[in-house]
Structure 1
Amino acid sequence: MDILLDDRQTAARLPWVPLVDEIQALLQDASVQVPPRTVLPMAGGAFLFAMPGCDAGTAMTKLITFTPANLGTSTPTIQGDVTVFDVASGRRRLILDGPTVTGRRTAAVSALAARWLAPNLAGPMLIVGAGVQGCAHLEVFAAALGVRDFRIASRRRSGAEALARHAQGLGLRAEVVGDADAALADCPLVATCTPASAVVLRGRPRDDAFIAAVGAFTPQMAELDAGLCRDLAARGRIVLDARDAEHEAGDLLQAGLDVRRVPALADVVRQGAKARADGGPVLFKSCGWAGWDLAAARLALR
């Protein structure tokens, strides 16, 4: 088989529903090993990420760059690869497109969290940010959770309109909204998928809200207002994607919350039904973890 896969070939090996299921299976696999990722700051606010992980049969490492100066240009902000190895032989099996893996696994993790934690999956769903992650979250919440109605907010109306047309092409209902905070009153599902260069959500969510905040992944970045984070902690529940987020969840750290006391998604899945919240809104804070890339690598090999 081909070893080097482009973006379309990588996406074809990572269909939404199997990817969500594979991520859940990984959280229940005792053989998984994932060390802390290496984050190297570079000039111009860019970062180099090295993220390895393995289980009993598969090893992988993701090596990507994040270059915010590329935002709005023809050059992607995320570039790089995921290299997949066979543990027994040490043989390289695949090289996957890094941005595609990142985009799909991040959205699939949000969908898995919503499967376990969202008080209300009926929709509509508000998506803030109309880029790669906004599109991926729209697709996975439709495919894996059956959401059919979306509201899209973006700094660039043209981007929001393009994503709405994409949703309509998939047979979904979608409309562009100018005020994300005002849309919270109608939307029990929310995903913030922006470059996290500025706060994009300040309003009070519904009592049955589930918010997946995925844009901020360093202590200096934030999409959610500090007061909003404190309100969610007081009224409902906060869950991290992984323990590494204790040091990276800028939204929560800037709100002065004790992130060490916040459970991770693995805790929720392992506890089963006992982990479900009794009520109130839920904030799922995602910063990224190499385990999600390992899950994608496992699925891609099959």
Structure 2
Amino acid sequence: MNILLDAAQTAARLPWAPLVDEIEALLTDPTVQVPPRTVLPMAAGAFLFAMPGCDARTAMTKLITFTPANVGTATPTIQGDVAVFDVASGARTLILDGPTVTGRRTAAVSALGARWLAPNLAGPMLIVGAGVQGQAHVEVFAAALGVKQFRIASRRRASAEALAAHARRLGLRAEVVDDADAALADCPLVATCTPASAVVLRGQPRDDAFIAAVGAFTPQMVELAPELCRAIAAQGRIVVDSRDAGHEAGDLLQAGLDVDAMPALADIVAGQPKARDARGPVLFKSCGWAGWDLAAARLAAKSRPTG
């Protein structure tokens, strides 16, 4: 059996709707163990990440690099692998493409957050950033949540046009917008998916807005203006993807907010009923967590390729 899967083979093991469900299931599995990830700063703003995790049957470690200098080049910003092991035998069962796992599980976590938290899932959805994560968010919100209309904003017009064209090939309606802040008035769903080198959103969201901010995962990175974060904290609520966000959520830390006091997605999933009746806009701040990679590894281990 071939255990080394390329990007396409990895994606085939991680279909969107089952991946969202697997992430949700992981949050209620008492056997899951996920230690803090190791983040090693390297030259020129690059990082090496080592992210292990396990449950009663599956163990995995994701080892990837993040190289921001590669933005806009033919070399990916994220490179590496996810090694998957059978707990009972200790045998390595799969090696998954790291960037594919990262891209798909990050977008799937946003969709799960929206499933539980978004006051309005009707769309249209604003996507800020037209790279790998922008495309993944279009795909998962369409496949898992039924969103049909998208607005695409990017500092590179050609990238935005390419993503809009991809969405149309999927049977969706998509258009490019020049002003992301202006588009907030029409979009109850928002995802910021940029390299997080500068503020890309500062406007006033709708009262029924759900914003998934996924680009910033270090204290120095930022996508959302501090005043926007503070306004949502005052008028609505902020939920983080995991407790690790307390020392990683650059958008929130730079806004001077107490991240440790904010609920995590696991807290929301553990509570009943679902929280869509909460008032005001919702900011879902995602920094990444090895648990999301473990969920992907679990699904990949039991999935058969669909194509």
Bucket of the pairwise TM-score, normalised by the shorter protein: over 0.9
The answer as to 2:187 corresponding to 1:187 is: yes
Provide the C-alpha distance between the structure 2 equivalents of 1:76 and 1:233, rounded to a whole number of angstroms: 34
**Matched residues, number:** 302
**SS of the residue aligned with 1:178?**
coil
**SS of the residue aligned with 1:229?**
helix
Distance 1:110 1:60, change over 3 A: same
**SS of the residue aligned with 2:112?**
helix
Counterpart residue identity of residue 126, structure 2:
L
> What's the counterpart of residue 89 of structure 1?
89
> What's the counterpart of residue 24 of structure 2?
24
**SS of the residue aligned with 1:185?**
helix
Percent of residue pairs identical: 83
> What's the counterpart of residue 270 of structure 2?
270
The answer as to 2:265 corresponding to 1:260 is: no
Counterpart residue identity of residue 253, structure 1:
L
> What's the counterpart of residue 305 of structure 2?
none
Provide the C-alpha distance between the structure 1 equivalents of 2:147 and 2:261, rounded to a whole number of angstroms: 31
Contact 1:118/1:210, CA 8 A, preserved across alignment = yes
5+ residue gaps in structure 2?
A: 303-307
> What's the counterpart of residue 129 of structure 1?
129
**SS of the residue aligned with 2:64?**
strand
Deviations 1:37-64 (A, max 9, x none): 0000000000000000000000000000
Deviations 1:250-294 (A, max 9, x none): 000000001111000000000131644521000000000000000
If the length of structure 2 is used for normalisation, what is the TM-score? 0.98
Counterpart residue identity of residue 54, structure 2:
C
Provide the C-alpha distance between the structure 1 equivalents of 2:153 and 2:225, rounded to a whole number of angstroms: 17
The answer as to 2:232 corresponding to 1:232 is: yes
> What's the counterpart of residue 68 of structure 1?
68
> What's the counterpart of residue 209 of structure 2?
209
> What's the counterpart of residue 118 of structure 2?
118
Contact 1:244/1:289, CA 8 A, preserved across alignment = yes
CA RMSD of superposed structures (Å): 0.7
Provide the C-alpha distance between the structure 2 equivalents of 1:276 and 1:30, rounded to a whole number of angstroms: 26
Provide the C-alpha distance between the structure 2 equivalents of 1:121 and 1:272, rounded to a whole number of angstroms: 19
**SS of the residue aligned with 2:186?**
coil
> What's the counterpart of residue 107 of structure 1?
107
Provide the C-alpha distance between the structure 2 equivalents of 1:200 and 1:141, rounded to a whole number of angstroms: 21
Provide the C-alpha distance between the structure 2 equivalents of 1:260 and 1:275, rounded to a whole number of angstroms: 20
> What's the counterpart of residue 44 of structure 1?
44
> What's the counterpart of residue 141 of structure 1?
141
Contact 1:237/1:277, CA 8 A, preserved across alignment = no
Deviations 1:118-177 (A, max 9, x none): 000000000000000000000000000000000000000000000000000000000000
Counterpart residue identity of residue 115, structure 2:
R
> What's the counterpart of residue 200 of structure 1?
200
Q: Give the drift of 1:2.
A: 1.1
The answer as to 2:294 corresponding to 1:283 is: no
Counterpart residue identity of residue 232, structure 1:
I
Query: Runs ≥4 in structure 1, deviation > 3 angstroms?
Result: 274-277
Provide the C-alpha distance between the structure 1 equivalents of 2:37 and 2:84, rounded to a whole number of angstroms: 17
5+ residue gaps in structure 1?
A: none
**SS of the residue aligned with 2:143?**
helix
Deviations 1:11-31 (A, max 9, x none): 000000000000000000000
Contact 2:117/2:274, CA 8 A, preserved across alignment = no
**SS of the residue aligned with 2:152?**
strand
Provide the C-alpha distance between the structure 1 equivalents of 2:255 and 2:153, rounded to a whole number of angstroms: 24
Q: Give the drift of 1:69.
A: 0.4
Provide the C-alpha distance between the structure 2 equivalents of 1:275 and 1:262, rounded to a whole number of angstroms: 15
Provide the C-alpha distance between the structure 2 equivalents of 1:125 and 1:207, rounded to a whole number of angstroms: 15
If the length of structure 1 is used for normalisation, what is the TM-score? 0.99
**SS of the residue aligned with 1:239?**
strand
Provide the C-alpha distance between the structure 2 equivalents of 1:107 and 1:272, rounded to a whole number of angstroms: 24
